[in-house]
């Protein structure tokens, strides 16, 4: 048996070798193990998909960077660039993947052309809300699956923000039946757009900067954007009279932090822990800020006499839901990777629906005074 003095000196030597980074396993790019600590200053760049100064989303990405800087005592200094300041917004994923920049902030459905199954990690029509998405990602195997999906691109993802349930959008006429959607020109991107097309609508692809003018000049009949806060800020209440809910097409869009894998593995363990924890904190902050700003903006919109706020009729939602299932099944048949993520998502989602039915939904359904 070792005597305690000998044990202490062996332990001290071992610790020293770890601290100085001269242990035998410091090739952390192949093992994934990070150095325990170092005194290097890392200067990183983060690019985002948001316009400069975009409230909540760009601001949240900047707050995250500031917090990482403060917690690391300046050892990890992240400079944040809005969309277009360094690279075009939709090249964020590629820039992180190629290591042109170390970090990105956006949402996984922007890369649907390259990684179709990534859409399940942002949002899909009639999918889970923020509560279910967080449960799936953090504790239900979702994040592990997401990391596996991004691995071939050398990108490590983290959830970082959520828009909450979005609004259904602004329409220049009332929607009383599915027939009212027929031939309607609406700005509605992604899988929501595919479902809308199946319903007879005409989805139009428009950049955020063109949305207001197109609706105001009747080049489109309808548009979705985000929620009351951002919609009000864009002035959409001046361009259409009918504001519909709920946002069946985006029930809780997850925003993502992406990190170049090599850059991530080059960090010592404490800086990795700081990033993980700051990302979790910002995930909550951005979501709760969005909720607060939306409830306040909704109140302001309700005071405007020129707009009417309606719920989509039940049969319209029911039909859109069944067209969504059809769309997702079709996509899954075309693509085994999409199918795999779809099945994992659906399995969790069904259980989440059962639980929600007797917890949050049941509670919220009580008429309160
Ligand atoms: Ca939207």
Residue 172 CA to ligand 1 centre (angstroms): 18
* Distance from Cα 226 to the centre of ligand 1, integer Å: 4
Place of tokens 């990482």: 68
> What is the 248 CA–ligand 1 centroid distance (Å)?
10
Q: How confident is the model at residue 25 (pLDDT cuts 50, 70, 90)?
A: very low
**pLDDT band, residue 29 (cuts 50/70/90):** very low
Would the pLDDT of 2 be above 90?
no
Taking 90 as the threshold, does the pLDDT of residue 97 lie above it? yes
pLDDT class for 240, splitting at 50, 70, 90?
A: very high
86 CA from centroid of ligand 1 (Å):
24
pLDDT at 12 over 90: no
Distance 234 CA to ligand 1 centre (A): 13
What structural domains does the chain harbor? 39-163+253-292 (3.40.190.170), 169-251+305-334 (3.40.190.10)
Please, what is the average pLDDT of the chain? Answer: 92
The Å distance, Cα 225 to ligand 1 centre, comes to 4
- In degrees and rounded to multiples of 5, residue 63 shows phi and psi of -65, -40
Dist. CA 249 → ligand 1 center (Å): 8
Q: What is the mean pLDDT of residues 240-260?
A: 98
For the cut 70, the answer to whether the pLDDT of residue 256 exceeds it is: yes
Instruction: Tell me how far apart the alpha carbons of residues 63 and 178 are, in angstroms, rounded to a whole number.
Output: 43
Of residues 225 and 23, more confidently modeled: 225
- pLDDT bin (cut points 50, 70, 90) of residue 244 is very high
Given a cut of 70, is residue 35 above it in pLDDT?
Answer: no
pLDDT tens digits along 281-291: 999 999 999 99
Q: pLDDT band at 347, cuts 50/70/90? A: very high
Distance, CA 268 to ligand 1 centroid (Å)?
37
Selection from 103, 45, 61 nearest residue 258 by Cα: 103
- % of the chain residues with pLDDT over 70: 90
pLDDT for residue 1 is more than 60: no
Residues 103-146: tens digit of each pLDDT: 999 999 999 999 999 999 999 999 999 999 999 999 999 999 99
How many percent of the chain have pLDDT more than 90? 87
SS3 sequence of the chain: CCCHHHHHHHHHHHHHHHHCCCCCCCCHHHHCCCCCCCCCCEEEEEEECCCCCCCCHHHHHHHHHHHHHHHCCCCEEEEEECCCCCCCHHHHHHHHHHCCCCEEEECHHHHCCCCHHHHHHCCCCCCCCHHHHHHHHHHCCHHHHHHHHHHHHCEEEEEEEECCCCCCEEECCCCCCHHHHCCCEEECCHHHHHHHHHCCCEEECCCHHHHHHHHHCCCCCEECCCCHHHHHHCCHHHCCCEEEECCCCCCCCEEEEEEEHHHHHCCCHHHHHHHHHHHHHHHHHHHHHHHHHHHHHHHHHHCCCCCEEEECCHHHHHHHHHHHHHHHHHHHHHCHHHHHHHHHHHHHHHHHHHHHHHCHHHHHCCCCC
* C-alpha 131 – ligand 1 centre gap (Å): 18
Q: What is the mean pLDDT of residues 26-55?
A: 77
Asked whether the predicted pLDDT for residue 19 surpasses 90, the reply is no
pLDDT in tens, 168-217: 999 999 999 999 999 999 999 899 999 999 999 999 988 788 999 999 99
CA 263 to chain centre: 22
How many Å lie between the centroid of ligand 1 and the Cα of residue 201?
17
| CA–CA dist 7, 261 (Å, integer) | 38
Q: Ligand 1 centroid to 189 CA: how many Å? A: 8
Structure tokens of 216? 């105001």
Do residues 54 and 226 touch, judged by C-beta distance below 8 A?
no
Distance, first Cα to last Cα, the chain: 72
- What pLDDT was estimated at residue 34? 58
Q: Which two tokens stand for residue 292?
A: 């607060």
Task: Kindly give the distance from the C-alpha atom of residue 367 to the centroid of ligand 1, in angstroms, as a whole number.
Answer: 30
CA 364, 162, 310 angle in degrees (round to 5)?
A: 50
Question: Which among 192, 332, 298 is positioned nearest to 250, based on CA atoms?
Answer: 192
| 3: phi then psi, degrees, rounded to nearest 5 | -80, 160
> How far is ligand 1, taken at its centre, from the CA of residue 270, in Å?
36
Q: Residue 39's pLDDT is what?
A: 85
Write down the pTM of the prediction. Answer: 0.89
The alpha carbon of 113 and the centre of ligand 1 are apart by a number of angstroms equal to 18
pLDDT at 31: 41
């Amino acid at each position: 048996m070792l005597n305690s003095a000998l044990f202490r000196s062996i332990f001290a030597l071992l610790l020293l070798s770890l601290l100085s980074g001269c242990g035998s396993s410091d090739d952390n790019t192949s093992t994934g193990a990070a150095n325990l600590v170092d005194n290097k200053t890392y200067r990183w760049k983060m690019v985002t998909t948001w316009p400069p100064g975009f409230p909540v989303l760009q601001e949240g990405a900047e707050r995250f960077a500031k917090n990482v800087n403060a917690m690391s005592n300046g050892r990890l200094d992240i400079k944040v660039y809005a969309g277009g300041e360094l690279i075009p917004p939709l090249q964020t994923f590629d820039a992180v993947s190629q290591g042109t920049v170390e970090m990105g902030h956006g949402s996984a459905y922007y890369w649907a052309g390259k990684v179709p199954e990534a859409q399940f990690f942002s949002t899909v029509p009639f999918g889970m809300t923020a509560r279910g998405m967080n449960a799936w990602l953090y504790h239900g195997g979702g994040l592990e699956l997401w990391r596996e999906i991004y691995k071939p691109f050398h990108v490590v993802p983290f959830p970082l923000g959520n828009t909450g349930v979005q609004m259904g959008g602004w329409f220049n006429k009332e929607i009383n039946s599915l027939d009212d959607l027929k031939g309607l020109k609406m700005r509605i991107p992604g899988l929501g757009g595919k479902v809308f097309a199946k319903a007879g609508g005409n989805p139009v692809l428009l950049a955020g900067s063109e949305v207001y003018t197109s609706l105001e000049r009747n080049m489109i009949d309808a548009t979705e954007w985000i929620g009351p806060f951002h919609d009000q800020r864009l002035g959409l209440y001046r361009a259409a009279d009918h504001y519909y809910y709920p946002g069946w097409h985006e029930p809780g869009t997850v925003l993502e932090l992406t990190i170049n894998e090599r850059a991530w593995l080059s960090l010592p363990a404490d800086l990795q822990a700081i990033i993980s924890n700051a990302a979790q904190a910002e995930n909550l902050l951005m979501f709760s800020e969005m909720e607060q700003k939306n409830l306040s903006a909704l109140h302001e919109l309700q005071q405007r006499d020129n707009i009417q706020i309606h719920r989509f009729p039940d049969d319209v939602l029911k039909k859109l839901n069944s067209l969504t299932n059809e769309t997702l099944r079709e996509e899954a048949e075309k693509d085994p990777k999409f199918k795999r993520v779809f099945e994992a998502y659906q399995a969790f989602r069904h259980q989440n629906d059962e639980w929600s039915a007797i917890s949050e939904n049941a509670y919220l359904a009580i008429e309160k005074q």
